[in-house]
Structures are given as structure tokens and as C-alpha cells.
Amino acid sequence: MKIINILFCLFLIMLNGCNSNDNETLKNNATKQSKSRQKRDLEQKEEVPQEKPKSKEELLREKLSEDQKIHLDWLKTALTNAGEFDTFLQYDVSKIKTALDHIKTELDKCRGKQNADQQKNTFKQTVQGALSGGDIDRFPEQASSLCDILLP
């Protein structure tokens, strides 16, 4: 019986020695994994600050009033041909603001009138034709609604 107890104790001591090596290996692996996670997290954080450059429309919107933004959206629906709106965005900001203010003035003339929607659609076509000429300086002269001419 003494021999069995001694052998059993030796077996437990050997088993305990093997486990201690495994624990150190696990700790080393855990620290390596945590370091690699930290590096990966740092790389991801560094990628976040890179922003996409803003489009010309977004840059213009920052310089416009709320009314002008509304009429820019309206103008975007009016200029349906490929590249027309992009061409419009190439103009100087002051000229664009003048054109948007003119659009607002003309559309305000149509408010409360009979056939206002039809007159606004006609004005849309007029705007499209006036801007297709490529001369934004003459836009207020070329694009006028018929709302103030037609009967209410």
C-alpha cells in the first residue's frame, strides 16, 4: 500500500508540473493575442479620420441659405439631361445664388394661381432651355414664368 501511495504522489507531482508549463504557454499566447488585437484596433482607428472629399454640390450647399437650398433641389429636378446640373455647379457661387433667387421670385409669382402646377412645369422647361445656352449671366432675362401675365 505504501508503494501505491508513493507512486500516486509522484504521478500527481508530475501531472502538476505538466500543467504549470501549459499555463505559461497559455499566458504567453494570450498576451500575444492581446497585442495583435491592440495593433489591429490602432490600425482601424487610424483609418477612420480619412474622409471622402465633398462633392461640388455639398460644397455649394454649405454656402447657400435654406431657401436657396430648396430651389437648388427644384433646379436639380428641372435639369434632367446628363451633365446639365454638373455644368450648372461649375459657375461662380455668386451667379448661382443670383439664379436661385430669381427662380424663387418667379415661383412665388405662381403661388395661389389657377393651374399653378402646370405653370411651374412650364417654367421648369423654360429654365432648362435658358441654362442649356450656357450663359448664366442672361439667365434672369431668359427664364421668366408666365404666372404674373396669366389671369389668377
Query: Which helix (DSSP H) or strand (DSSP E) does residue 32 occupy?
Result: helix 2-47
C-alpha span between 7 and 83 (Å, rounded): 90
**Grid coordinates of 145:** 414664368
Give the domain extent around 9.
Answer: 1-50
Considering the domain boundaries, does residue 124 fall inside one? Answer: yes
- Asked if residue 116 belongs to a domain, the reply is yes
Amino acid at 104: K
Grid cell digits, residue 82: 446628363
In this structure, the answer to whether residues 81 and 131 fall within a common structural domain is yes
The total of structural domains in the chain comes to 2
- Could you tell me if residue 149 is inside a domain? no
pLDDT tens, position by position, 1-55: 888 888 888 877 877 766 555 556 656 666 766 666 676 666 666 555 556 787 8
Clarify whether residues 89 and 137 are in a common domain.
yes
- Same-domain pairing of 93 and 113: yes
Residue 106 lies in a domain: yes
Using one digit for the tens of pLDDT, what is the confidence trace for 83-129? Answer: 787 888 888 888 888 888 888 888 888 777 777 777 777 878 888 88
Q: Are 92 and 37 within one domain?
A: no
